[in-house]
Amino acid sequence: MKTPFDLLRSLRVPLRRLRDGARRCQEFFESRRGAHVVLVLTLAIVLLTVFVSTTRGLALERHQISAAVDELSELQSLLDEQQAQHQRLELEAEDLRRQRDELVTRLLEMSAFAGAEGQQELEDLARNRRLAQATEVRGPGIRLVMGDASGVEQGSGRSEDLIHERDIQDAVNLLKSAGATAIAVNGERLISSSKLICNGPTILVNRNLQAAPFVITATGDPERLLAALDANERLLYLQLRGKEIHYHVADDLVIPAFRDETYIRTVTDLMVERSQP
Amino acid sequence: MKRQSRPARLVILLLCIVIGVLVALQFKNVSEASRAKVADTASADELRDFVIDLQLANAELAEQNNRLRDNLRALQGEQEGDNVALNQVMAENRQLEIFAGLVAVEGPGAHITIVDGKNAKVDHNHLLTFVNFLRAGNAQGIAINGERLVAMSEILTTGSFPDQQIVINGNIVSASDGIYTIRVIGDPEQIASTYSLLGSYVSNLLVKGIGVSLEKVETVQLPALGKESPAYRFGLLTADD
C-alpha cells in the first residue's frame, strides 16, 4: 500500500530532473547563444502577429474591392449599352432630319405650296442654322491643345499645374476676337449658351464632361488666328508654368454641328420675340 | 567564446528563414494594400452619374426622333393649301432666330450693374467671369450695354489703364459713366443664387472699388445681334455641309 510518503519519494527523481532541466535552461538562456535564440524568437513572434493582422485586414479589403469591381463592371456594361443606343439614336436622327429637309425643300420649291414666302423662309433657314451653329463647318483654321503640366496624375495634381476653365475661356475668347467662324472644344461645338465649368480635373463643356488635354479647334483665317495666339501673353505664361500648350494651322478642320433640338427648345423657353427692337 | 551547439545554430537558422519569409510576405501585403487604394469608390459614383446622364440624353433623343417622325409623316401627307412644310420651316426659323440672338427678345431675368472704380476699371476678364457663371446658371440670353452675346461674340479690352475700353461684337461698349449693365434672361431665382455663388469674387471687386449689384427684373429686353458685327458676318462665311 502506498502512503503519501511513498508518493513523494517516487516523485523525487522526476522533480530533480525537472529542477536540473530548469537550471540548464536558465544557463542556456543566460548564455550568449541563448540570448540569440530569444531575440530571434521574439522577432519572429512580433512579425507573425503583424503579418496575421494585416493579412486579415487585407482579406476584408479584398472582399470590399471585389464587390466594388463587380459594381464597376456592371456599370460599365450599362454604359456601353447606353452609348451604343446613343449612337443608334444619333444616326436615326440624322437620317430623319435629312429626309425631312429634303421633303421640305422639295415642297417649298413647288411654288403652288408656298410661293415667294416659302423661298424666303428657306433662305432664312440656311442663315439661321449657320448662325445657331447648327451646321457642320469645314475648312482651314487652327488647332490648339491645352494640357495639364506633365507628370500630373489624376487626383494628385496641384491646382496650379492644371488647365482651368478660365484658361479655356480666355483662349476661346481670343479666337473669337480673331474672327473665328466656328469653335469646338474636344469636339463639342460652342453655342450662344455654352459655359465652361471646372469640375475637379474635368471641365463641363455644354452638357458634356471633358478631360485634359483640351483640343480647341477653330475655323477662320489661319494667319489671323495664329497671330492672335502668338501675341497672347496668357498662353505664354501657361507654357512657362510647364503646361502643355501647342497649336498649329490645320488645313481641313471639321467642326461638328450643334444639333440638340431639345436643348435649343429648353434654353429659349423664357424668351419671346419682341415686336420692335 | 564558446561555439554554439549544433541544434541551437539550427534553430537560429530556421527562425531567420521564417523571419525572411514573413518580411517578404509583409512587403507583398503592404504593396497590395497601396494598390487597392487606387480602386476608389469615387470612380463608381462618377460612372453612375455618367450612365444616368446618358440615359436622360437618350430619352430626350428618342423623343426628338419621334417628333421628327411626326413632322415627316405630316409632310408626306401634305395637300395643296395645307402649308405643312411652310409652317414647319417657319417654326424652326423663329426658334433659331431667338436662340442665335438674331431678333430682339424679352423675358424674366435680372440686371447686373458693374461700375468702374476710381483706381480700378472693369475689364473683359470681369465680364467673362460673370457671363460664364450666368450661363452656368442656365441664362437663356445675355446682353452687355446694348450688345447681344451670341456664340461667336468676343469680349475684349483695348487700350491700357486708365484709358482702356471694352469691345463686344466689334463695338465699343464702354460709356463715359463707366457703367456696364449685364442684362440677362433666365429664371430670376436661379440667377440670384448663381450670383450669390460669386460672393467672394464680387466682394473682391468691391474692395478694389468696382461696384457690383444685382436687380431682379420682371421683363428684361435684349437687342438683336447687329448685322454688321463680326459674329454675324463671320458666322455666314462658313461653308455649309
Is the confidence at residue B91, as pLDDT, over 80? yes
Contact A203, A209 (CB under 8 A): yes
Classify residue A84: in a domain, yes or no.
Answer: no
Residue A152's pLDDT band (cuts 50, 70, 90): low
Question: What are the cell numbers at A20?
Answer: 536540473
Alpha-carbon gap, residue A158 to A151, rounded angstroms: 11
Cβ distance A79 to B51 less than 8 Å, yes or no, reads yes
pLDDT given for residue B84 in this prediction: 87
Residue A47's pLDDT band (cuts 50, 70, 90): confident
Classify residue A269: in a domain, yes or no.
Answer: no
Picking from A130, A260, A262, the nearest residue to B236 by CB comes out as A130
Residue B175 DSSP label: -
Residue A259 DSSP label: -
Domain of A233 in residue numbering reads as 137-262
Alpha-carbon gap, residue B111 to A41, rounded angstroms: 80
Contact A246, A145 (CB under 8 A): yes
Cβ neighbours for B36, distance < 8 A, ≥ 6 positions apart: A58, A61, A62, A65
- Mean pLDDT calculated for residue range A176-185: 94
The four Cα atoms B28, B33, B37, B40 give a dihedral, to 10 degrees, of 100
Classify residue A245: in a domain, yes or no.
Answer: yes
Is the confidence at residue A115, as pLDDT, over 70? yes
**Residue B24 contacts A, CB cutoff 8 Å:** no
Classify residue A194: in a domain, yes or no.
Answer: yes
Name which residue leads in pLDDT, A51 or A28.
A51
Domain end: A17, A40, A62, which one?
A62
pLDDT tens, position by position, A69-97: 888 888 889 989 999 999 999 999 999 99
Residue B196's pLDDT band (cuts 50, 70, 90): very high
Cβ distance B100 to A196 less than 8 Å, yes or no, reads no
The four Cα atoms A199, A205, A207, A212 give a dihedral, to 10 degrees, of -60
Alpha-carbon gap, residue B126 to A217, rounded angstroms: 25
- Thinking of the domain B105-222, which architecture would CATH place it in? 2-Layer Sandwich (3.30)
- Mean pLDDT calculated for residue range B192-206: 93
Q: Where are the beta strands (DSSP E) in chain A?
A: 137-147, 182-185, 188-189, 196-199, 202-205, 208-211, 214-219, 244-255, 272-273
Can you tell me whether residue A153 is helix, strand or coil?
Answer: coil
pLDDT given for residue A13 in this prediction: 80
Residue B153: closest C-alpha in chain A: A176
Domain end: A29, A44, A62, which one?
A62
pLDDT given for residue B33 in this prediction: 67
CA A225 to chain centre: 29
Residue A66's pLDDT band (cuts 50, 70, 90): confident
Find cell 485586414 and name the residue.
A57
Residue B224's pLDDT band (cuts 50, 70, 90): very high
Cα distance from N-terminal residue to C-terminal residue, chain A: 131
Is the confidence at residue A237, as pLDDT, over 60? yes
Q: What is the CATH number of the domain that holds A230?
A: 3.30.70.1880
Phi, psi of B219 (to 5 degrees): -130, 105
Q: Write out the DSSP string of B213-231.
A: EEEEEEEEEEPPPPTTSHH
Residue B212's pLDDT band (cuts 50, 70, 90): very high
Mean of the per-residue pLDDT values for chain B? Answer: 88
Residue A265: closest C-alpha in chain B: B95
**Residue B36 contacts A, CB cutoff 8 Å:** yes
Q: Are residues A51 and A150 in the same domain?
A: no
pLDDT given for residue B67 in this prediction: 92
Classify residue A103: in a domain, yes or no.
Answer: no
Mutating which of B40, B86, B221 best tests the A interface, going by the most A Cβ atoms within 10 A? B86
Contact A181, A142 (CB under 8 A): no
pLDDT given for residue B34 in this prediction: 65
Residue B90: closest C-alpha in chain A: A121
**Residue B21 contacts A, CB cutoff 8 Å:** no
Beta-bridge partners for A184: A189, A217
Is the confidence at residue A2, as pLDDT, over 90? no
**The total number of structural domains that make up chain A:** 2
Classify residue A130: in a domain, yes or no.
Answer: no
Q: Point out the least confidently predicted range of A94-108, B33-47, B195-209.
A: B33-47
